[in-house]
Structure 1
């Protein structure tokens, strides 16, 4: 498995990875049923996407039973870290502060989340 496979993941593949990160091992049917809740998609489309992801090394498949079970090979934290770094560089001219201010300005943030952010910033400033 290549270290930077997450570079090749499309938006649809990232949606599937998100499901696999949350649920763990899943069949194509299980992934498809979750995807259908948020967007219209055919079962064969989900199957084909997961087969492509297998070829890319984004997922692995257990074929020992009649129903094939898939799991993510990409680490969620590393993938998120890579995508955020890429976004900071490409969209916000390398400014993490701009990205954070944009994100906080455009989304409602709970008091708990704001407190967690403040605690994290305090920890960063103590380094």
Structure 2
């Protein structure tokens, strides 16, 4: 599945991932807490997302309910692949160095990164 949601679609997906099935009103009310956008804009975006296969729409009830067809992990992977290839020209080390240099990681996050690197390094062929 090669679905790459736009920034606005990701904002909508964040709400759906958090709440599960949502009506357009549910999503719009949540988005309105942080930014000014019209209900019809949210409705149109969610219709487009349905056409793209990012969400499924349950039309059994009067109020249509939307559910994500793409997981948070799939969206993160797609966004990371795009950033890695376009912004960092495929350099994983540049991406990691930039991320760690610009954003203060907590002790737990650094420990998790070290553990991952230890596992990753252990799986590599030693020369």
TM-score exceeds 0.5: yes
User: Match for 2:92 among 73, 96, 113?
Assistant: 96
In structure 2, C-alpha distance between the alignment counterparts of 1:62 and 1:116, rounded to whole Å: 39
Q: Deviations over 1:50-96 (max 9, x none)?
A: 01111111111101111110001112212211221221111111111
Q: For 1:82 and 1:114, how far apart are their aligned partners in 2?
A: 24
Partner of residue 42, structure 2: 46
Give secondary structure in 1 for the equivalent of 2:56. strand
Structure 2: stretches of 5+ with no match in the other structure: none
Counterpart of 1:109 in 2: which secondary structure? coil
SS at match of 1:102: helix
Larger Rg: 2
Distance apart, 1:13 and its partner CA: 0.7
Tell me, in whole angstroms, the C-alpha distance in 2 between the residues paired with 1:90 and 1:34: 31
Give me the CA root mean square deviation.
1.2
Looking at structure 1, the residues matched to 82 and 38 of structure 2 have their Cα atoms a distance apart, in angstroms, of: 31
* Paired residue secondary structure (1:66): coil
TM-score, normalisation: structure 2: 0.90
